[in-house]
Amino acid sequence: MTTFRDSSIVIIETSRTVVRAGLGLYELLRTPTIDIPARVGIRASLAPDSSVSQTPVNGRPAYRLGDSLDVGGGPSASTSRAPSAMPPSNSGVRVTDYLVGPQLDEALAAGQDIVVSWPFADGQIRDWTQAEALWKYALLTGLGIRRVQNESPVLLSIFAGLSREGYERISQVFFERFNVAAFSMLDRAMAQLYAANALSGVVVDIGTSRTDVTPVYDGFPVHLARTSVKLGTDACEAFLAHVLRTNTSIELTDAADLRALAQHTWRAGLVRVPTEGEAARDAEDEGVTDIAAVLVAGKEKAVIESGMKKRANAKASAAELARAKEIEALDLVTTEFRGVEVTLGKERHRFCEPLFDPGVMAGVEGWVEENLGDEEATLDMPLQTAVGHAVGLTEAEQRQYIWNGLFVTGDVASYVKGITAGLHSYLLPYVLSNPDQHNEVQARQIRTIKVPDYFAEFREKGDGLAAFLGTSIVAKITFHDGKNFTTKADYAERGPKAVLEMSPSLF
């Protein structure tokens, strides 16, 4: 039985927009050491036409919203065998022609004429040379693995929906290009749920421009129920930038600056998601927040920074306490943005509103035309509707178990408070509210889950890094089991198809 040293095991997570990697598994599982955008760059003089078509807008994947749902089926059986040798995706373009990670960042910062592509952005692998360039950077450059003496096994977690041919071709890349000692693959949704210590549930992965909803039952994704909503943090940032225009204390007027402030706000952890009832009450009070009128010399700034601590100060005057209560009601906070202190009110908590009510994006100037391409285009369906739809596509007897594990992941889960509780409140109509209506099939509750606190390294951002953590957990078992991975000898004997027998998400 083949086993490997924990210190030699490599974890690589590949999502639509991020590649994360780490070398070695230890008693205390660690966060990734490599964390780069899943984008590559090539100098314009070398760029093939296919790369130009993938160039994102403003450095982000260029999704266009249209259909209200993308319902993905399971990986389909391929009638054609993957080629025995890895042909380049674009004739004349080599892996070494692409810039990745810091090298790409530096080229863009220097103003070089670079075409940027996101090969995984639409949930498929659009360009195999670009994909290889990203994995090569993570494995050989970032982690320092030597190809000629590669003794490391690799567990790759990747987005759902790839065909069997896609799995075969990925195994070719890792065995033939990187000379890995062993290889196995895992569906990201499975890894994410494992990180939350569950085998059944519904994973809501909120990404940059798309949110993927994957029901999982008894450890396996329900492929026919997978659903994608073409809304993510990009739309949330654009909406918050639009809302911040009403904040009279903010002197920024340029759309790009407001967008940058919106991104800074949620990534600084200053946003929470109200529940459905709270959101309705806030909507009733909606209007222009004249924060400038509230902020007067010095004392109020101290109140903002210390919250209601002055309430416990016996020396505080009645006027100071009254002002403190007024400011607390406005939920003000100060943050430093580009060297300037900016005061934000409770309007910042509307950040995730487009996820639950996509119609609000119609009021954001230019957003519909830029992202939908047509003023008459239909906006995507609300996230809660997509989740209910996805669970509804599973077998009736599975649903109560799936509703018992609502797990929200993605960068939003790392930085935005209350995102899971907020979604939970919108989903309550999908379960029985009257205990007298009990039956054996209909779910009576929705239970939220999270990454356990005993994963100390992941305590702060565990829900957002769930895919990497879950992949690490599975790797610790996989490469000691001796049965759940493909070795070099297996690959040499049976070729790329050997990986299919070791990929549970294809069963």
CA angle centred on 131, ends 355 and 413, rounded to 5°:
25
* CA distances (Å), origin 262, targets 243, 267, 297, 415: 9, 9, 26, 13
CA angle centred on 169, ends 163 and 173, rounded to 5°:
145
pLDDT of residue 373: 63
User: Strand (E) positions, 405-461?
Assistant: 406-409
pLDDT of residue 309: 52
How far, rounded to the nearest angstrom, does the alpha carbon of residue 323 sit from its chain's CA centroid?
40
Kindly give the interhelix angle for 466-481 and 188-195, rounded to the nearest 10 degrees.
100
Q: Which residues of the chain have pLDDT under 70?
A: 1, 49-91, 277-316, 323-328, 372-378, 433-441, 481-482, 503-507
Is the alpha carbon torsion for 159, 163, 166, 170 positive or negative?
positive
pLDDT of residue 84: 33
Among residues 185, 163, 176, 87, the alpha carbon closest in space to that of 495 is found at 176
pLDDT of residue 502: 73
> What does CATH list as the number for 6-197+452-506?
3.30.420.40
Global pTM reads 0.83
379 SS3 class: coil
Q: Please name the residue ranges forming H helices in 428-465.
A: none
* CA distances (Å), origin 166, targets 136, 172, 487: 18, 10, 19
Domain ranges of the chain: 6-197+452-506, 233-263+275-351+360-369
